Amino acid sequence: MKFRDGMWLVAEGKRPEYAEDVYSITQHPAGNALSLLCPTKKILERFDSLNLPTLTIDIRAPFDGVISVETTHWLGALNPAPHFDLYPAGKPETSDAEIIQTDSAVTLKSGSISATVKTSDHDFDIRFHATDGSKELTSLLNRSVGFTYSPGPGNMMQTGDMSKFQHYVFTQTTLSVGESVHGLGERFGAFNKVGQAITLWNADGGTSSDQAYKNVPFWMSSRGYGIFIDTPDKVELEVGSERCCRVQTSIEGQRLKWYIIHGPTPKEVLQKYSILTGKPGKVPSWSHGLWLSTSFTTNYDEKTVNSFLEGMKARDIPVEVFHFDCFWLRAFHWCDFVFDSEMFPDPKAQIERLKASGLVKKVCVWINPYLSQACPVFKLAASKGYLLKRTNGDIFQWDMWQTGMGIVDFTNPEACEWFVSCLQSLFDKGVDAIKTDFGERIPSIDVEWFDSSLSPRKMHNYYAFLYNRVVYEALQDRFGENEAVLFARAATAGTQRFPLQWGGDCESTPEAIAESVRGGLSLGLCGYSFWSVDIGGFEGYPPPWIYKRWVAFGLLCSHSRLHGSNSFRVPWTVDNDDKTDQGCSKILAKWTALKARLMPYIFAQAQKAVEEGLPLSLRAMCLEFPDDPTSWFLDRQFMFGDSLLVAPIFEESGDVEFYLPKGRWTNFFTNKTKDGPGWFKEKHNFDTLPLYVRENTILVLGKWHETRTVYDYSKGVEVCLYQTSSGAKTTLVDAEGEEIGVLKVGADGHLVDQEFLDGAWHVTKNGRSTIKTGSKAIEG
């Protein structure tokens, strides 16, 4: 939202007031906080203090490396819940907070970051900088903190009735020359957000708009800091779009709080952000295998399901999870948790037979938090107070998605217990995972939650947290703390604790592949370790070349799911069962097998990503190469963990251009090397893409014939050394994620500490054994 018309004029219908002076500073006795009284004009004489608004700016040091800034106009205004669930693992002690005062400034030190407030000459000037003086991060300068009335009152007497006015609080942090901004949830537009106006408001808008399913009020700067806006309310940002040199953050209300988090590296920023909002949850090893799903096209009778899975097995494509989407339920009965009796006369027995056949190991079903009024359970839920109500006491209903649907009210503890009991009935029938669809279109007007103290507007985004937490904790209770898996579409800050998330409804186009890459990169920079995408695109009928390019990309995401709306995603239906080496079936088999061989690396990296609050894949290049300016603008490639570089291909021809940062990089398929930094062009068939291994990497691969996801990651493996030097190391974990050993390169260039390896394992130097791949279709 813009409050000015250019630099000189006020926007029509707005009346902004700015903090112009720091009149007084109160220091907290503990030495970890400052409170600034800031009038909206310079106070030069006593009379200036009358009939004058002030803003209170509280600057605190919550823990080392982080500073919070809270701006308030009227301190007496309520601040209703919900609030983000901060410090879920406990708040760290502030060991290095200090206030330093000079004749011209007061500085609050919080470990590696400090805030300095100028106290001379009535200038409004707050600088955030590295404590060691090495770098200024950002600042709040003239006309950068204030509030706005809309419409602008003729005089202040009119504000006695605030029902006629909207009131906003805003801050404008400075943008330095060349600074870029990233994150703010799963955003499908330009990776660098400078120049964009962004509204953080969950919406079901697909992947080709400025709307987002996952709005996260956190952004990362290329200057070594991040900012977390501490509210689930609607937040509007002008990222270099009202003033080119500032990021404006505004919210309707009387207060705005945010945290500035210093790295100095982007990895350290995310580590500290995960202390605030929570580390990602762990996922089991089986979840990294291939998931098969279809949506509106499938009749889920046993014969049809088995035909899909038998077809996959016949083509050497192992499926780890079969997902039953919407129509496991009866039409007009979404979501009553009752299997369609025509297709599932005995769902428990059918699922048992499916698993016993060996065609699939796990089963997932689709749910959403809405109840159609055609469901018999609707009346029960309504009578018990389990559904969201209007302010007049009616159940909130509309005919969006399902006829007369109501929305489960997760602020009611009894509604949560009932919902969990419904989930338990699914688990009893053999369901292992849950896809938590929807949860974005939550009304914020004319509604009252069971907990009536909650702000309906804040609940719009926060609903995603409550919904996914209920389901995730139910999965944990049944299957174990680290065995819970859900597939979530809606999210906000903190839902990284409930993995995993997928990118929503994308089209079957190369542009949608690129949109999905940008969405995954942006969400990863908000601390989400695990992310997936609908391979082939959700909407439309992918031609074979798009399907195959998407397969290559999708099998190098942390999780891989074939899913479509009105067309199947089993490969033989895409290209009339082309049986050649470049046909859809052979290509899917090759990429699925490659991911299985990579599992020793993938699962070890997954544990590391969770511990450090980092994305596993898609990992933005800037996280690994923050000192390379180019890395902050790369939105068509990514890192899978810290050692593999992936560049998806968007052209039918196989032409691709990608960037390699400084160092020696080895092509995974050919063992040929390239030296960065630099841009490179290649041409690929469908069974390869630019997959490069970083120098000084020990890459452990499963056995040649390995196609499973879960196996002994230390037995019969191939240990590949890529341009390694003394001290290079890698950690190996077992299929439960427990560390079993560390491989190191000694001073003589050979491996040490190998006693935990088992079976016929072997070492290859300067790459891997390529005898059995025979990939000769790469042109550079």
Question: What DSSP string runs through 6-26?
Answer: TTTEEPTT-EEEE-----EEE
In single-letter form, the type of residue at position 139 comes to S
Please say if 346 is a catalytic residue: no
Closest Cα partner for 184 from 519, 526, 499, 615?
A: 526
> How far apart are alpha carbons 507 and 240 in whole angstroms?
30
Sequence-ordered list of residues with C-beta below 8 angstroms from that of 356, at least 6 positions apart, any chain: none
Residue 242 CB: number of other CB atoms within 10 A? 22
Annotated catalytic residue, options 340, 437, 515, 718: 437
Antiparallel, parallel or unpaired: β 113-118 and 126-130: antiparallel
> How far apart are alpha carbons 614 and 263 in whole angstroms?
13
Cα atoms in the Cβ-side hemisphere of radius 13 Å centred on 541: 6
In single-letter form, the type of residue at position 656 comes to V
Question: What DSSP string runs through 644-664?
Answer: EEE-----TT-EEEEEEEEEE
Annotated catalytic residue, options 505, 507, 539, 706: 505
> How far apart are alpha carbons 468 and 434 in whole angstroms?
10
Annotated catalytic residue, options 325, 440, 534, 575: 440
What does the block give as tokens for 122? 């009535």
Helix axes 584-597, 544-554, angle to 10 degrees: 0
- Burial of 342 by CB count in 10 Å (0-12 exposed, 13-18 middle, 19+ buried)? exposed
Classify 68 as helix, strand or coil: strand
Please say if 340 is a catalytic residue: no
Write down the number of H helices and E strands in the chain.
Answer: 11, 43
At residue 517, φ and ψ (nearest 5 deg) are -60, -45
> How far apart are alpha carbons 339 and 348 in whole angstroms?
10
Please say if 440 is a catalytic residue: yes
Question: What DSSP string runs through 231-268?
Answer: -SS-EEEEESSSSTTEEEEEEESSEEEEEEEE-SSHHH
In single-letter form, the type of residue at position 780 comes to G
- 648, 515 Cβ separation under 8 angstroms: no
Angstrom distances, CA of residue 646 to CA of 519, 639, 660, 777:
16, 6, 10, 17
Question: What DSSP string runs through 511-556?
Answer: HHHHHHHHHHHHHHTTT--BEE-EET-SBS---HHHHHHHHHHHTT
- Burial of 274 by CB count in 10 Å (0-12 exposed, 13-18 middle, 19+ buried)? buried
> How far apart are alpha carbons 512 and 536 in whole angstroms?
10
Closest Cα partner for 616 from 604, 634, 600, 626?
A: 604
To 5 degrees, how large is the angle CA 548–CA 551–CA 557?
155
> How far apart are alpha carbons 141 and 644 in whole angstroms?
42
> How far apart are alpha carbons 698 and 662 in whole angstroms?
18
At residue 434, φ and ψ (nearest 5 deg) are -130, 130
Question: What residues are labeled active site?
Answer: 437, 440, 505
